Chain A
Amino acid sequence: MGSRAVRVRGIRKDFGNVIALDGVDIDVDAGSVHGLVGPNGAGKTTLLGMLLGLSFPDSGELEILGRTVGRDLAVPDGVAGFVDGPGLYPALTARKNLRSLATLRGYAASSVEDALGQVGLLEVADDPVGGFSLGMRQRLGLAAALLGDPRLLVLDEPANGLDPAGKRQVHRVIGSLAEAGVAVIISSHRMDDLAALCSDVTLLSAGRVVFSGPLGKLAAESGDLDYRLVSSDGARAREVAARTSGISIVSGPGMTGGALASDAALVVRGSVPAMDELISRIVGTGLAVRELSPVTPPLEAAFLALTGNTADAADAADAADAADADIIDATGERMR
C-alpha cells in the first residue's frame, strides 16, 4: 500500500430534485482494488464520472492523485477509465479505435499493441468494432483505458456482459495492474462480481455510503443468515430446530412456499453460535447431517441487508441475469 490515490470527503451532487450523492466519503490507496457496489440508481456512475472529471460535486472535497480538483474536466493527468460502457466507434477497427485515441492524447504507438495484448484482443485487432460482442467491447474499453499508463483506473461495471473466461481475464489484468501500484476503483451492482477482486468495498445505496472497509468486515455485517440443512430425517430435524433458541425455521417439511425445502431439507435462520448449537443437537439425537450451506453467500447477504433490498429482489435480479454463468453456479443447489 502506498500513497492515497483518491480522497473523497462529504461530496454531494443533486440533479434537480434527485440527490445522486449525499455526503459520500471514499479513500482508495495506490495499489489497491476498491469495489463500489450498489443497486441501480445508487450513484455509482455519478461518483466515478466525477473521478474522470465529467462532473463536479455541488459540495465536498475531491482529491485525486494528491491534487484537489476544483472544477469539471480538470482532473490530474494519470486518470483513465470509462463510465456507462466503453466509448468505441463501430466503423473503426479495434486497433484503429485505440490508435486514433493514442494519437489524440499523444501516447506512444507501441502502447496500442501492449494494451491489445493485455486484454487478449490481438487476434481480432483488425476487425471493425461494430461486429464485436459486448464482452469484447468491454475488454477493448479496458485496453483504451490502459493506453496512457494510468495511475488511477476508473471502471464502471466492466464485468457487464463478460462470460466467465472474459471476466477472469479482466480480473487478471486488473490484479496485475494493482500489483504494479495502480489504484483501481471498480463498480458493480452485484457483490459477488467483486468479492474475488477487491480488497476494500464501499456500498452505496440511494447516494449514501452504507458500508466502507475491507471485505472481511463486510461479511460480519450480514447479520443472521439463512442456511439450508439436509439431514437423514427432515421432520425430526425440524422438531430439534424448533426447540433450539436463536433459531427460526424459514421453511421445512410440511410448510408451504419453501422451494428450497423438501422431505429431507429445511431452511433455518440464525447466528453462527446458534447454528453450532443446532448442529450438535441434531447429531446428538442420532441424525446424520448431510449438507449445510448458506442460502445466500455472506457478502451478498450483507449487501442486501445493508442496501435494504430483500432476498426476493435479488432472486429476481438473478433471473434477469440468466446470461451470467457464475450466478447459475452459485445457485446450482436449487436447480438440481
Chain B
Amino acid sequence: MSTVTLVHPSRSDAPATVRPASLRRTFRFELVKLVAQWRIRLMLLVCLIVPGAFVAAVGQQSSLPADTVFGRQMALTGWAGPLVILAFVGTWALPLLTSLVSGDVFAVEDRLGTWRHLVVAVRSTRRIFAAKALSSLIVVLAMVACLAISATVGGLLGIGSHPLVGLDGHTLGVGDAAGRVTIAWLCVAVATLAYAAIGLLGSVTLGRSPIGLLLPALVALLLQVLALLPLPAAVRMALPSNAFVAWRGLFTSPAQMGPIWAGLAVSVAWAVVATALAHHHFVRRDFTDLTNDGSARRIIVGGLVPLAGLTVVTAVVLGGATPADGSGVTRAKLQDSLSTTFSHLYVLQTDELQRPTVTEVTMRTRSSCDKGGPNDQDSGPGNDWRCIVSWHTPGTAFVGQATFQLDVTADGRYVADGDGPKEVNGSFQVHTVDGDTPNPLWQFDGLVDLLTK
C-alpha cells in the first residue's frame, strides 16, 4: 500500500511524507526516558547492593535460612548465596520488579498525557511498541543481572569459592558449581520474560489503572496460590511459575532436564503470546481519545482468557508427552531419590570423619517410605512421609539403618530430617579432626523429578 493517496496530482515542490523514526533511535529515546526515572535508578541500585550484602552477612551467622534450598550451605560456600537469592527473588521480587518496569512503560505516557506527542514524533505505533518492549526488557534483564552479580560477588567475597553439595547429595567442584549457578540464573532470566510480557499487556490494556501496573505481581500471586494446590504434574509444569523453580533440577546428577525444558518452553510461549496480545491492543488504540483508561473487560477477554487457554493447551500437550500421572510424587521415585541422596551424603560424612572409605556402589542403599498411616495412599506431597534407609558396610555383614521424616512439597522438593540413630543423622554437628562441622545427614534437601515415571 502506498503511503499517500494522490486524489489529484501533488505539486512538484511538495515535501515527502515524513518518515517514521528508526527503531534504533526510538529505542534509545525510550531507554533515556526509562533510565531517567528515579524509581528505576533506585531499583537498579537496590538490586546491585542488597543481595550481595545479604549473602555476605548471612554467611557469617549461625542461623541460616534452611527453608530455602541451599540455605543450609550459605556459611560453607559462596556458591550457595546466589542460589538462595535466586529461589527468593523468583517468587516475589522478580514479578514485582517487572511490574514496576514493564507494567508502567505504556501507562506512564497515559499518566503524563504524552501519547499524541510520542505518536507524532515517532510516526509508527509498531515502532513505539517495539521500542518500549525492548527498552523495558533490557532494564528488567539488567536488574536480573545486577541481582545475580551482586549475590555472587557477595558470596565469593564473604564466604569464598568452595564446592557445593547438590540436591542429590553429590559434590560439585567449584567450576561445575559456577557453571550451573550461571545457567540457573539464565533460566530464571528467561522465565522473567513471561512476567515482563504480562506487564506489557497490563500496561497497554489498563492504562493508568494501578491494576495494570501490578498485573505481573497479581499473576505471580495467583500462581503461588495455585502452586500450593495438589495439581497434576502436567498442569503444574504448564504454569509460568514452574520455570522459577525448575532450575533446581540442574543440581542433581543426572540433571532433571524435563521440568527445565518445559519451564523454558512455557516461559517463551507466555512471553510471545502476551507480547502479541499487547501489540494487538496497542496498534488498534485511538490516540486521540484522552479518556482511554482501559477496562476490566478488555484485560479479561483480551488478555487473561487467551493466556488461560494457552495454559490448558500446554497442560494437555505436557500431559500427553510425559509418562507422569497425578501429582508426580510417587513412593518409588521418592525412595530412589532418597537412596541416592543419602548414599552421596553418607560418603561425604565418612570422608569428613576419616572413616574407612565407602562408595555409593558398595553401600547398595535402599529406602522404604510410607506416607501417613497404613491406610493412607503412599503418593503425593505432604509432611507425613516416613522413610527407613538401609545400607551395607563393606567387609561386614552389618546392615545400617536410619530413619528420616520427609516433608515433600508439591513442586517435588523435599526436606529430609534425620530421626536417628544419633551417630548417623541424629546430631546437628559431627566432630572431625579439624573441629566441628555441620552433619550432612542431619537435615538435607532432595528433589524428585515430577515428570518421570
In the complex the two chains form, is B38's CB within 8 Å of A77's CB? no
B-side contacts of A105, CB under 8 Å:
21, 121
Q: Tell me the bound Cα distance from A104 to B122 in angstroms.
A: 8
Q: In the complex the two chains form, is A89's CB within 8 Å of B112's CB? A: yes
B15 and A92 contacting across the interface, CB-CB below 8 Å: no
B1-47 with Cβ < 8 A to chain A: 2-8, 10-11, 13-21, 25-26, 28-29, 32-33, 36-38
User: B364 at the A/B interface (Cβ < 8 Å)?
Assistant: no
Chain B residues whose CB sits within 8 angstroms of the CB of A131 once the complex forms: none
B399 at the interface (CB under 8 A from A): no
Q: What 1/0 flags go to A92-118 for Cβ under 8 Å of B?
A: 100010001101111000000000000
Q: Are the CB atoms of A76 and B7 closer together than 8 Å?
A: no
Given known contacts A89-B33, A91-B38, is B120 in contact with A52 (CB within 8 Å)? yes
With contacts A68-B6, A91-B33, A92-B33 taken as known, whether A54 is within 8 angstroms of B17 at the C-beta atoms is no
Is there a chain B Cβ closer than 8 Å to A75's Cβ?
Answer: yes
Is B113 engaged at the interface, CB distance under 8 Å to the other chain?
A: yes
- Find out whether the CB atom of A73 lies under 8 angstroms from the CB atom of B114: no
Q: Specify which chain A residues have a CB less than 8 angstroms from the CB of B37 in the assembled complex.
A: 91
Please state if B33 and A55 are interface contacts (CB–CB under 8 Å): no
- Is B28 in contact with A89, judged by CB distance below 8 angstroms? no
- Knowing A68-B8, A90-B112, A103-B25, the reply to whether A75 touches B36 (Cβ < 8 A) is no
Q: Does A254 contact B (CB under 8 A)?
A: no
Interface string of B315-352 (1 = CB under 8 A from A): 00000000000000000000000000000000000000
Interface set, chain A 56-107, CB cutoff 8 A to B: 61, 65-71, 73-79, 82-92, 96, 100-101, 103-106
Q: Is the CB of B116 within 8 A of A74?
A: no
Any chain B CB within 8 A of the CB of A46? yes
A74-B4, A74-B17, A75-B18 are contacts. A46–B33 as well, Cβ < 8 Å?
no
CB of A213 within 8 Å of the partner chain: no
Contact of A71 among B5, B11, B32 (CB under 8 A): B5
How long is the Cα–Cα vector from A163 to B112 in the complex, in angstroms? 23
Residues of B within 8 Å of A53, CB to CB, are 18, 120, 123
Q: In the complex, are the beta carbons of B124 and A73 less than 8 A apart?
A: yes
Which among A91, A101, A106 has the greatest number of chain B C-beta atoms within 10 A? Answer: A91
Chain B residue with Cβ nearest A147: B121
Whole-angstrom distance from the CB of B11 to the nearest CB of chain A? Answer: 4
With A66-B14, A76-B16: A71-B117 Cβ-Cβ less than 8 Å: no
Interface size class of A (residues with CB under 8 A): 35 or more
A100 in contact with B112 given A76-B15, A89-B36 (CB within 8 Å): no
Given A70-B4, A77-B16, A104 and B113 contact (CB-CB distance below 8 Å): no
Cβ contacts under 8 Å, B113 to chain A: 84-85, 87
Are A66 and B116 interface neighbours, CB within 8 A? no
The answer to whether A68 and B38 touch across the interface, beta carbons within 8 angstroms, is no
Contact indicator B124/A54 (Cβ below 8 Å): no
Separation of A55 and B20 alpha carbons in the complex (Å):
16
Q: Which of A46, A76, A88, A104 contacts B288 (CB 8 A)?
A: A46
Which chain A positions have C-beta within 8 A of B4?
67-70, 74
Residues of A close to B25: CB separation below 8 A: 103-104, 106
CB < 8 Å: which of A46, A70, A71, A92 contacts B36? A92
Indicate if the CB atoms of B18 and A76 lie closer than 8 Å: yes
Tell whether, in the assembled complex, residue B112 and residue A54 are in contact, meaning their CB atoms are under 8 Å apart: no
Q: A49 contacts B288, CB within 8 Å?
A: yes
B21 contacts A104, C-beta separation under 8 Å: yes
Q: Collect the chain A residues with CB atoms within 8 Å of residue B123's CB.
A: 53, 73
> Is B119 interfacial (CB 8 A cutoff)?
yes
Minimum Cβ distance to chain B for residue A288 (Å): 56
Indicate if the CB atoms of B116 and A87 lie closer than 8 Å: yes
**A83–B114 alpha-carbon span in the complex (Å):** 10
Question: How far, in Å, is B114 (CB) from chain A's closest CB?
Answer: 4
Complex CA–CA separation, A184 to B28 (angstroms): 31
- In the assembled complex, which residues on chain B have CB atoms less than 8 Å from the CB atom of A76? 14-18
CB distance from B12 to the nearest CB of A (A): 9
- Which of B15, B28, B118 counts the most chain A CB atoms within 10 A? B15
Nearest-neighbour CB distance to chain B for A187, whole angstroms, equals: 14
Cβ-closest chain A residue relative to B37: A91
Q: Are B15 and A49 in contact (CB under 8 A)?
A: no
Candidates A15, A52, A67, A104; contact of B15 at CB < 8 Å: A67
Residues A103 and B11 in contact in the complex (CB < 8 Å), given A73-B124, A74-B4: no
Which residues of B sit under 8 angstroms from A71, Cβ to Cβ? 3, 5
Quote the shortest CB–CB distance from A29 to chain B (angstroms).
Answer: 15
Q: Is the C-beta of B433 less than 8 angstroms from some C-beta in chain A?
A: no
Q: Which of A49, A83, A89, A105 has the most CB of B within 10 A?
A: A89
B261 part of interface (Cβ distance < 8 Å) = no
Mark out the residues of chain A between 146 and 171 whose CB falls within 8 Å of any chain B CB in the assembled complex.
151
Which residues in B have their C-beta under 8 angstroms from that of A69? Answer: 4
Cβ of B54 within 8 Å of any chain A Cβ, yes or no, is no
**Cβ–Cβ contact B13 & A66, under 8 A:** yes
Which residue on chain B has the smallest CB distance to residue A13?
A: B288
B119 proximity list for chain A (CB < 8 A): 54, 73
Q: Give, as a whole number of angstroms, the nearest-CB distance from B373 to chain A.
A: 63
Complex CA gap A69/B288 in Å reads: 18
Which among B8, B14, B37 has the highest number of chain A CB atoms within 10 Å?
B14
Chain A residues, CB < 8 A from B120: 52-54, 82
Q: Given A77-B18, A88-B112, output 18 extra A-B contacts at Cβ < 8 Å.
A: A15-B289, A54-B288, A66-B15, A68-B7, A70-B4, A71-B5, A73-B123, A76-B16, A77-B17, A77-B19, A79-B18, A91-B37, A100-B32, A100-B33, A104-B21, A104-B121, A105-B21, A106-B25
What is the interface of chain A, defined by CB distance below 8 A to chain B?
A: 15, 45-46, 49, 52-55, 61, 65-71, 73-79, 82-92, 96, 100-101, 103-106, 151
Question: 28 A–B contact pairs at CB < 8 A?
Answer: A45-B288, A54-B120, A55-B286, A66-B14, A67-B4, A68-B7, A68-B8, A69-B4, A70-B5, A71-B5, A73-B124, A74-B4, A75-B18, A76-B15, A76-B16, A77-B16, A82-B120, A85-B113, A86-B117, A87-B112, A88-B117, A91-B37, A92-B33, A96-B36, A100-B33, A101-B121, A105-B121, A151-B15
